Amino acid sequence: MTQPLTIRLDNCAKTWPDGTRALAPLDLSIHAGETLALLGPSGCGKTTLLRMICGLERADVGGRIHFGDDDVTQVAPEARGVGVVFQGYALFPNMNVAQNVGYGLKIRGVDAASRRRRVAEMLELVELEALAERRIDQLSGGQRQRVALARAIAIEPRVLLLDEPLTALDARLRQQLRVDLAKLLKTLGITCVIVTHDQEEAMMLGDRVAVMSAGRLEQLGAPETLYRAPASPFVADFLGTLCRLEGGEVTSRHGVESLTFRPHEVELAAPGQGLPARIQARFFLGSHIRFELALADGQRFTALAAPDAVWQPDDAVSVIIEQARVA
């Protein structure tokens, strides 16, 4: 593998020809060898940012992109040496698995023998050795995803970009491949950017996560930092559930305007010890129980409790909020 590379974006913005802004000017440094997850709802500009890194989209005038010490702003996508896994995989239907994986090498003029060797190596890495001669339309979704990955890394790219690599798969398979992918990225040690709208995926795969919204970078940091110290309500809400209570009883008891907290930070107790509330609904989820609650004034919130919690709907309880943040 080649030496991992730092990616630096300076003042990169994107405006479409019709004048709409896809991306506000943005500075971003991706460390050598790290996996950065771009997380946000659809239309937040995360895919546009990814396409700018591989060169399929050009930044507005004034934006600069560096791979290590090379300024690649004006370099065409075919010369950037970037491996891309597209959303939906974009495998070539007129080629079989081996030909897909070997295509980038063929373009580079690698001789047939070395190509065969490298393709075999790649297929082994993604555990698809047996399917080398298969046509693309004979593959399952998970197999396609791995072929796309093998094709992208066969060219020994300087940077690996993944656009929603697991979105097209069903939930169970996604769980499995997420673990596989995390392991593979660690093995490769390559600088990697992964675009996703799934917060769990971002937190599992990303060494750091960049949360984006409406064409802006909201916050960039390690998954734990983002979860524990979100810089904005948007980030807090996007990474898991965030509850908010305000006024009345909350103010008189805690002496603040409002409280924000996560469902697992709530402790339920017998009436009389904290904020009085009533159980509205109870969902047993195996590892925990999810309660929907309401204060006397009708404000609703969620609490998670251990699976042996005894409360039932309509029970009166008191609520102790442990790590309440003042919002």
Q: Footprint of another protein on this chain (CB under 8 A)?
A: 54-56, 77-84, 86-88, 90-95, 103-104, 107-108, 151, 155
- Encoded tokens for 170: 């069903």
Cβ–Cβ under 8 Å, residues 275 and 318: yes
- Encoded tokens for 72: 């690649």
- CB 86 → another protein: shortest distance, Å? 5
* The amino acid at 123: L
Torsional sign, CA 135, 139, 142, 143: negative
Q: What is the residue whose two structure tokens read 């005038």?
A: 61
Between 50 and 295, CB nearer to another protein: 50
- CB 132 → another protein: shortest distance, Å? 16
- CB 114 → another protein: shortest distance, Å? 16
Between 82 and 319, CB nearer to another protein: 82
Between 56 and 173, CB nearer to another protein: 56
Cβ–Cβ under 8 Å, residues 43 and 65: no
- CB 59 → another protein: shortest distance, Å? 17
Between 99 and 225, CB nearer to another protein: 99
Between 67 and 291, CB nearer to another protein: 67
- CB 98 → another protein: shortest distance, Å? 13
Helix axes 112-125, 141-154, angle to 10 degrees: 130
Quickly list DSSP for 223-269.
Answer: HHHHHHS-SSHHHHHHSS--EEEESHHHHHHHSSSEEEE-GGGEEEE
